[in-house]
Chains A and B, each alone.
Chain A
Amino acid sequence: MEIELKLFMRFKDYLPEGGQKGKAKMTLPSGTTFEKLLHTIGMPVPEDKIIVINGISHKQGAAANGIELKDGDTVAIFPPIAGG
């Protein structure tokens, strides 16, 4: 299956090869979880982050880590930010 990964700010360092401007298309085995994706790109699982999958923000932790990704998903990961 193929997903789109988007990484922002300092997380761009984890962009897999072939990615550009913080974005990469990734081919992953079906059933890959969010946690497995983090392992694949080398991002520490406990790292503080904001997770947005298909436009919905998720609470970080066990529930998000266990989300099974599907073909065509968009996964965006941001460092902790706020403002307004």
Chain B
Amino acid sequence: MNSWPGKLIRVNLTEGSCKVEEIDPKLARDYIGGRGLGTKMFCDEVDPNVDPLSPENKLIFLAGPLTGTGAPASARYMVITKSPLTGTIASSNSGGYFPAELRFAGYNGIIFEGKSKEPVALWINDDSIELKPAKDLWGKPTHITEELIREKIDDPWLAEETRIACIGPAGEKLSRIACIVNDKHRAAGRSGVGAVMGAKKLKAVVVKGSKGIQTADFDGFKKAVRGCMDKLKNGPVTSEGLPTYGTSILVNIINECGILPTNNFQQGMFDKASEISGESIAENILTRNKGCFACSIACARMTKIDDPKFAGQGEGPEYETVELMGADCGIDDLAPITKANYLCNELGMDTISAACTVATAMELYEKGYIPKEEAGMDLSFGNGEALVQLIEEMGWRKGLGKIATDGSYHLAEHYGHPELFMGVKKQEIPAYDPRGVQGMGLTYATSNRGACHVRGYTIANEVLGVHEKLDPLVTEGKAATVKVFQDLTALVDSSGLCLFVTLTPGWGFEEMKALIKGATGFDYTVKEVKDCSERIWNLERVFNMKAGLTKEDDTLPKRLLEEPLTQGGPKGQVCRLEEMLPEYYELRGWDENGVPSDKKLKKLGIA
């Protein structure tokens, strides 16, 4: 029997009950799965004005129709909820092995509602679904939580094969930048989804499955997979760039292009960039490469730090992390950066938001806005020890971390200097300065979950020339580019594939359609999957508008709009958002206030 749309588990944490439900095939067809379908289910059940940390908010884990199927990089799932960081819809993606395992157990998703009185964990083993007390796990970092859970399983083989997603102390303490960590090192990172899990007193989800995943049209699916595998094998980035060097290889080129955020986005070049580059990681701390389920790209990096002050081992740092904990904090030493990365995984915090918050703290401190006695440490740019100490304090919500753990928007506000927050919709900007890559500015400003690079990664074309090479400094045509990237991403995020497959030249809607059609049996055309992508994007927008966001939120920090870069190729540039935004609204079929028109919504079947 076809495994899609299949079943999901509904867990009421207030009552302590679990039941299995069928997913509505009509919704599945219109919204694909993962991010799209999860958002649709969420919008149907939750008031957009809900307090994100209240029992009325829901938390949805949802796989896509391709998750676990063996299609290339079919490793991903989505966590959908209302974000306590941004107040927007949140959908955070993660890979590893947990998402596929959930499908092997026979479920495509889980909806958590209500709030438990005491800490609990959800245990799933095929048909057995049980909420178990987790008081003993509460307060434990994620890697220890995983180990303690495995110790509870008698059969050592079963223990080894069990997959776990959990929160760390940050999620328990309702940090607005808390993430949900699975397989120890993978995270549904952004927008504070871990705090929602913490507010529900849900510590972990433990899954073991033994069932197969059936695709609707096996032959058609196999053919589509083969075609896509060939593309991946021939794509220089997916066959060589990412497998050989990992994501942090970007440090040098982004620096060369003058868009490497440095000292809280005060500059776009870092003179010590090579010290924190992918090459330096490979030479100094790399132990081995690693991949997620069914992924030949295997972009992850296992590392080890010997320096006794920062000793540890784990996964990472990825590009965003090494850049933001490195250059953006003025730090050129991989040891504290990597240690801070490990701590984020162990304590359960988004590395991007955490790193940017430290960078903001450093600027606030250097400008004298955080009094020395309140900081409790020397927060000067470049101080690796301070990075590690503040991250630790944030994870446990203590010291300066009491405020910083809610992200840099709250920190900058608290100290009376909101202009030093480098983010959009209260979420921190990732590691590309949009003053030297205009399309990324529009991507950040219009992302439905606040500043984000993986909602429309136009770096691929504006800098790296993956599909076609565009001039990064022009604004002309960028609205259209951003829209296409956003829509394709919405589709990939809903399918269960990793976004990195789209770094293959020629990988687009056609390839996605073939795979999704084979897996679901829905007779999609390319036009239909494009409509699905737009439907997803517009539904997210509608939710955000109902939650109170307006056109005023589609903007960038003043620094990026008004203070020109001072070095390198983009010297003298600011982000010219105003040249792109009106055209973008028009292309989307929205009015001049960024509100989707009734006509557009009707056409997409949302209204």
Chain A positions near chain B (C-beta within 8 angstroms): 6, 8-9, 21, 48, 50, 52, 54-60, 76, 78-84
Contacts and interface: CB of A to CB of B under 8 A. Distances in A.
A42 B463 CA distance: 25
Given A9-B279, A78-B252, A84 B241 contact: no
B469 A58 contact: yes
Contact of A81 (B249, B453, B469): B249
B256 interface: yes
B228 interface: no
A81 B253 contact: yes
Interface in B317-346: 318-320
B569 A9 contact: no
Contacts of B246: 83
Contacts of B253: 8, 50, 52, 57, 76, 78, 81
A82 B245 contact: no
Interface in B34-57: none
B464 A82 contact: yes
16 contacts: A55-B258, A57-B469, A60-B469, A80-B464, A80-B466, A81-B241, A81-B245, A81-B250, A81-B253, A82-B466, A83-B247, A83-B249, A83-B299, A83-B503, A84-B250, A84-B459
Interface of B: 236-237, 240-242, 244-250, 252-253, 256-258, 274, 279, 299, 318-320, 430, 453-454, 457, 459-460, 462-466, 468-469, 472-473, 500, 503, 568-571
A81 B598 CA distance: 42
B236 A79 contact: yes
A54 B568 CA distance: 7
A80 B245 CA distance: 11
Contacts of A57: 253, 257, 462-465, 469, 472, 569
Contacts of B242: 81-83
Contact of A83 (B279, B319, B465): B319
Chain A interface SS verdict (over half): loop
Nearest to B457: A84
Given A55-B256, A81-B253, A83-B250, 7 more contacts: A21-B274, A57-B465, A58-B469, A60-B469, A82-B241, A83-B319, A84-B453
Most buried by B among A6, A48, A52, A58: A52
Contacts of A84: 247, 250, 319-320, 430, 453-454, 457, 459
A67 to B, nearest CB: 14
A21 B469 CA distance: 28
Contacts of A56: 257, 472-473, 569-570
Most buried by B among A56, A60, A76, A84: A84
Contacts of A83: 241-242, 246-250, 299, 318-319, 500, 503
A9 B240 CA distance: 11
A79 B462 CA distance: 16
